[in-house]
């Protein structure tokens, strides 16, 4: 029988109910919960990775089609420094160690306007602009309104941007790299720069004297440059090949897609994983009920065969039933079923739970305690004028008149009736009314409650409810909405027995859940429970 003293049950925990989520979860750094969320969103992450892969592949192809072909050739110069040393009556010309400042001066001299002007004089102003890769500098220099002097300055800047000079390691060798539109022009340009530098240095270091013999003997003194390797036309274009660009683009795109999916998962606070709900509520999450498309899950619908969705739902509901039995052996077990928001499937799931309990021989009273526009009564074909729970609690109808017996084997149904006012002060009468007027002994009373969005109704029903099961639709309610609803429950929150994640997409179900379906299907193939009428599988 219903225990009318349930309304006086003590509540552990005091009057205040702080957030149950630990700070680690609030900051999003709990690795276990994060992995649970990633597992739930792995299909989304895979799709983003595929999109990124294709986008990177297309970008690699576009790069190969639109990039300007460029070729680079290199030449090497040896920088030496000689001096005159006197040894007695003789004078000896010897080489000394080249200082870093001498090498750096040679590099800067190579980039100077005096050297590049020599190159332009050898090639011609128009030729230089034609063989070099086009850029905004070249476009600026091509304008006819500019003078020849300004065009020459632009050509010098263009040459400087298409050449590279560096020291080879710590040696006395300088490498010149010139870039042009063709391989032949790149080699010619690089060799011309090297020769222009050697000529410029020779002219700078030349000693003006009228004595030809003396000039010939001392011209080798000081820093000198010598071409030790001439540039040859390169065999390949600059930059990666189109195939390599495609591969790199695809890999980079896939990595960005995975990274974006992980970031979205990390920032997403909607409820999707059992670990997330267990952390928020500090109670067990019984599992996932898959989403079913293409058919309606009618009230107490009887299928023809145990499909995977039904097997998964049955497994989840069995765990919930076991949790209720472990918590208390007193009968009847009064369990309220609610959800965070409207339309999350709590009524259908509650009906399935009542059916699964009744199939094992226990007498069940299913009560429609919703105040929503779409209620269990409307789903089962009851009219709006049908008397039920509200009339019975207000004393306008007796239990024997409003309780519909035998709508399913071992299940009686109490419709909601017509709401008129609040039942906050009347819920305690439910036990006395049913025990004294229905003439039936129930082992289970399942109460379909309003959603937590109207937590006042669910809290008021806590006067009669022993345990509370919360149904959460996968990916709908946010963490903050759920926590706010839990806080509004007040002391009733201590009666939350667990949670169920409903309408979970098949692609997000864990592999172990699918393995469980296969195991249950093999078991049911050998020995399936039938309903009392023998009309089909449960």
Do residues 271 and 499 touch, judged by C-beta distance below 8 A?
Answer: no
Between 487 and 25, the more confident residue is 487
pLDDT at 134 over 80: no
Q: Among candidates 377, 327, 386, 319, which has minimal Cα distance to 353?
A: 319
Band the pLDDT of 19: cuts 50, 70, 90: very low
Q: What would the pLDDT profile of 409-463 be if each residue is shown by its tens digit?
A: 889 998 887 776 666 667 767 776 666 555 567 889 998 988 887 667 777 777 7
Q: Rounded to whole angstroms, what are the CA distances from 24 to 97, 280, 283, 351?
A: 63, 12, 18, 37
The whole-angstrom separation of Cα 421 and Cα 371 is 11
Q: Tens digits of per-residue pLDDT, 232-289? A: 998 888 877 778 888 999 999 999 999 998 888 878 788 888 888 888 888 999 988 8
CATH homologous superfamily for the domain 71-229: EIF_2_alpha (3.30.70.1130)
d(CA 298, CA 474): 20
Give every CB contact of residue 32 below 8 A, 6+ residues apart in sequence. 275
Length of the chain in terms of residues written:
538
Who wins on pLDDT, 537 or 38? Answer: 38
In CATH, which of 3.50.50.60, 3.40.50.720, 3.40.50.300, 3.90.180.10 is domain 4-10+270-296+305-508?
3.40.50.300
Most confident of 23-27, 322-326, 400-404, 457-461: 322-326
Instruction: Using alpha carbons, select from 527, 497, 533 the residue that is nearest to residue 353.
Output: 497
Looking at residue 201, its pLDDT comes to 80
Annotated domain spans of the chain: 4-10+270-296+305-508, 50-67+241-264, 71-229
- Locate 109 and state its tokens: 């001299």
pLDDT at residue 340 tops 50: yes
Instruction: Write down the pLDDT at residue 399.
Output: 79
| Of the listed ranges 214-223, 315-324, 450-459, the one predicted with least confidence | 214-223
- Give the model's pLDDT for residue 175: 92
pTM over 0.85: no
**pLDDT in the model for residue 277:** 87
Q: Which residue has the higher pLDDT, 385 or 182?
A: 182
Judge if the upstream peptide bond of residue 332 is cis by omega within 30 degrees of 0.
Answer: yes
Residue labelled with tokens 């040459």: 159
pLDDT reported for residue 55: 93
Position 297 scores a pLDDT of: 39
Confidence band of 54 (pLDDT split at 50, 70, 90): very high
- Distance, CA of 61 to CA of 292 (rounded, Å): 42
Question: Per mean pLDDT, which range of 16-30, 38-52, 337-351 is the poorest?
Answer: 16-30
Of the listed ranges 103-107, 370-374, 455-459, 496-500, the one predicted with least confidence: 370-374
Please identify which residue in the block is written with the tokens 């709990």: 30
| pLDDT (0 to 100) of residue 20 | 40
Which pLDDT value is given to residue 150? 82
Q: Where do the DSSP E strands lie in 230-342? A: 285-290, 333-339
| Mean per-residue pLDDT over the chain, rounded | 75
pLDDT recorded at residue 372: 53
Window from 162-176, 328-342, 378-392 with minimum mean pLDDT: 378-392
pLDDT at 280: 87
* Gap between the Cα atoms of 385 and 387, Å rounded: 6
Q: Which pLDDT score, from 0 to 100, does residue 527 have?
A: 42
Give pLDDT tens digits for 467-506. Answer: 999 999 988 888 888 888 888 888 888 889 999 999 888 7
Dihedral over Cα of 211, 216, 221, 226: its sign: positive
Q: Which of 265, 260, 261 is nearest to 36 (CA)?
A: 265
pLDDT at 213: 56
Find where tokens 């274009």 sit. Answer: 237
Cα gap 250→390, rounded to integer Å: 63
pLDDT greater than 60 at residue 163:
yes
pLDDT at 6 over 50: no
What percent of the chain is predicted at pLDDT more than 70?
Answer: 70
Determine contact, residues 418/385, Cβ cutoff 8 Å: yes
């Amino acid at each position: 029988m219903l225990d009318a003293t349930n309304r006086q049950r003590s509540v552990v925990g005091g009057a205040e109910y702080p957030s149950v989520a630990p700070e680690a979860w609030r900051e999003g750094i709990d690795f276990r919960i994060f992995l649970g969320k990633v597992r739930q969103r792995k299909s989304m992450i895979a799709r983003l990775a595929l999109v990124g892969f294709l986008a990177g592949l297309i970008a690699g192809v576009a790069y190969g089609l639109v990039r300007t072909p460029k070729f680079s050739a290199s030449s090497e110069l040896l920088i030496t420094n000689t001096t005159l040393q006197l040894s007695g009556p003789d004078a000896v010309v010897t080489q000394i160690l080249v200082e870093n400042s001498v090498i750096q001066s040679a590099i800067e001299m190579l980039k100077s306007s005096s050297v590049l002007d020599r190159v332009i004089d050898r090639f011609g102003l128009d030729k230089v602009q034609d063989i070099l890769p086009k850029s905004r500098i070249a476009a600026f220099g091509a304008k006819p309104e500019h003078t020849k002097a300004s065009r020459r300055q632009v050509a010098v800047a263009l040459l400087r941007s298409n050449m590279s000079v560096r020291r080879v390691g710590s040696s006395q060798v300088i490498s010149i790299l010139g870039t042009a539109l063709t391989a032949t022009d790149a080699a010619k340009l690089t060799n011309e720069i090297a020769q222009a530098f050697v000529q410029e240095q020779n002219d700078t270091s030349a000693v003006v004297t009228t004595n030809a013999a003396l000039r010939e003997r001392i011209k080798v003194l000081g820093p000198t440059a010598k071409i030790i390797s001439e540039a040859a036309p390169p065999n390949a274009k600059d930059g990666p090949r189109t195939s390599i660009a495609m591969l790199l683009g695809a890999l980079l795109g896939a990595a960005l897609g995975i990274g974006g999916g992980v970031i979205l998962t990390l920032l997403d606070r909607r409820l999707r994983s059992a670990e997330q709900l267990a952390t928020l509520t500090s109670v067990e999450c019984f599992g996932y009920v898959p989403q079913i498309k293409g058919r309606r899950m009618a009230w107490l619908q009887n299928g023809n065969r145990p499909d995977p969705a039904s097997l998964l739902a049955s497994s989840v509901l069995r765990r919930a039933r076991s949790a209720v039995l472990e918590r208390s052996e007193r009968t009847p077990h009064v369990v309220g079923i609610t959800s965070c928001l409207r339309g999350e499937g709590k009524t259908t799931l509650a009906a399935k739970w009542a059916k699964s309990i009744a199939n094992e021989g226990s007498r069940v009273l299913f009560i429609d305690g919703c105040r929503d526009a779409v209620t269990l009564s409307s789903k089962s074909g009851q009219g709006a004028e049908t008397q039920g729970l509200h009339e019975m609690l207000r004393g306008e109808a007796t239990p024997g008149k409003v309780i519909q017996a035998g709508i399913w084997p071992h299940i009686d149904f109490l419709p909601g009736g017509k709401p008129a006012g609040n039942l906050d002060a009347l819920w305690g009468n439910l036990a006395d009314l049913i025990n004294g007027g229905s003439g039936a002994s129930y082992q289970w009373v399942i109460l379909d409650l309003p959603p937590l969005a109207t937590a006042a109704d669910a809290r008021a029903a806590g006067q009669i409810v022993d345990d509370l099961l919360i149904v959460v639709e996968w990916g709908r309610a946010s963490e903050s909405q759920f926590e706010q609803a839990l806080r509004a429950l007040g002391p009733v929150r201590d009666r939350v027995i667990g949670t169920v994640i409903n309408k979970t997409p098949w692609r997000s179900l864990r592999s172990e859940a699918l393995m469980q379906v296969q195991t249950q299907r093999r078991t049911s193939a050998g020995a399936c429970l039938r309903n009392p009428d023998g009309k089909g599988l449960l």
